[in-house]
Structure 1
């Protein structure tokens, strides 16, 4: 990508999109295009087509998606499969119709089989049953990956797909009903601290292991791959190591400065027992994550204190 290339970041206000936008700006890219959902409804094919026809876009980072944790996936399965299929279909098809040079599609490691071998390699996709609480979202994301592959085969497009592991960072979702585990725990421990609660309850047994990637590292990897990779094979993006949720909770407790107890509600689901990705392919392409979990947790808690006062108030 040239510094003057017209680059569209779809989903620029979310965790991933905002990190990509921020990182592109820091690297000196000056011709960046983005729209709020109130300005461009990606569920509306006609609106998306009009946008692409008017903007003459060179590159697309497709980070727009409906995302959430176990609670949200359980309560809104129709929304997750419908909205994600519509968003990615409209954007991918428009990228083809209006001759975009290259598109990067953001998948997710949560769409690998529930009992995939660990660490999960790219070839493990579609080799086993999915996690039931996550299936509608996973089916939609798999369709997006296969759509990119199919357009490449049929139309000669240059669309690539990446598989980020669990993400966290600035502009994360801290809503306790719809967020992922890390931001939910940050909010829980912070509120327990200011309320002087004697304990914090964590869903499940605490035994599942998760890998966590700082969003700015994902953005850096995505831009690197946009510049240095093409092909139909997906690429994992992660740090290559994981920790139990119980240990994550202890780390967040320490960062927040909470002094009470941690209790585990074993009546709640654990989700997938382990989700560690094999990042050999990514490392061989020349990229490795730079932000440690300890450093990232300090960053995200500071961001939460500075920018999420309305979340704390709620």
Structure 2
């Protein structure tokens, strides 16, 4: 990509999309096309076609989608499936129709089968059933990545897809009904600290293992892939580091300064027992994550408290 090329970032106000916009600006890309959900509903096929037909961006990065944790995914699988399918189909196909030079679609680590061998290699997609608690979301994301593969295979266009590990970072959602585990735990520990309670309840056994990646790293990887990757097979974006949910909880407890105890509610689901990506391919291309988990957690906590106090 040249610095003056027109780049459309779908979902630029979201957690990952905002990080990508910041990274593009940091690297000197100045011709960015951005639309909020209020300005452009990506589930509206006609509206997306009109927009891309008028703007004709050179490059497109798709970071838009309906996202949420186990609670939200379990409660609304139809919404997560339909909305994410619509966004993928509309943006990717209309980009192809209006001859976008290159497109990157961002998937999710939950696309991998629940009982997938670890660490998860790209070739393992579709080798088994996804985790039931986020099946709708996973199937929609799989479909988006496959559409990129099929378009490249059939028409030779440079449309690629990538699978980041569990994302967290500045701009994260702290709504208790929608948040992922890291912002949910930060908010939970802060509330417990302020209310002087003696314990915090952790969903599940605490033994599930996860790999977390800061959105700054996802953003740098996304720009890197737009400039250095053109294969039809999706590619993982990970850190090669994992923690149990209990270990993560202890880290956040320390950062927040909560002095009570942690109690696991084993009646609640763990989700997938272990989920870590095999990121050998992107590492061999020359990209590596740079934000340590502890540093990213401290940064997010400070940002959360700063916005609460504002």
TM-score of the superposed pair, with normalisation by structure 1: 0.97
Distance 1:208 1:242 in 2: 10
Aligned-pair distance for 1:197? 1.6
- 1:73-222 equivalence runs, <5 A: 73-222=73-222
- Equivalent in the alignment of 2:254: 254
Aligned-pair distance for 1:292? 0.4
Aligned-pair distance for 1:307? 2.5
Aligned-pair distance for 1:153? 1.8
Aligned-pair distance for 1:309? 5.5
**Poorly superposed stretches of 4+, deviation over 4 Å:** none
**Structure 1 pair 54/308, CA: closer, same or farther in 2 (3 Å)?**
farther
Distance 1:298 1:98 in 2: 43
- Equivalent in the alignment of 1:33: 33
- Equivalent in the alignment of 1:59: 59
- Equivalent in the alignment of 1:305: 305
Deviation readout 1:263-310 (Å, 9 max, x if unpaired): 111110000000011111111010000010111111111111123559
Distance 1:221 1:2 in 2: 17
- Equivalent in the alignment of 1:230: 230
The CA RMSD over aligned residues, in Å, is 1.0
- Equivalent in the alignment of 1:271: 271
Aligned-pair distance for 1:195? 1.6
Is 1:292 aligned to 2:297, yes or no?
Answer: no
Aligned-pair distance for 1:50? 0.8
- Equivalent in the alignment of 2:19: 19
Distance 2:93 2:59 in 1: 14
Deviation readout 1:52-91 (Å, 9 max, x if unpaired): 1111201111000111111111111110110011011000
Q: How many residues are aligned here?
A: 310
Distance 1:298 1:57 in 2: 37
Aligned-pair distance for 1:100? 0.5
Distance 2:117 2:157 in 1: 32
Deviation readout 1:144-192 (Å, 9 max, x if unpaired): 1111111112222111000001010011111111111111001101111
Deviation readout 1:238-283 (Å, 9 max, x if unpaired): 1011011000000000111111111111110000000011111111
TM-score of the superposed pair, with normalisation by structure 2: 0.98
Distance 1:183 1:309 in 2: 17
Instruction: Mark the runs of 5 or more structure 1 residues left unpaired by the alignment.
Output: none
SS at match of 1:110: helix
Deviation readout 1:202-236 (Å, 9 max, x if unpaired): 10010000111000001000100100000111110
SS at match of 2:162: strand
Distance 2:13 2:198 in 1: 35
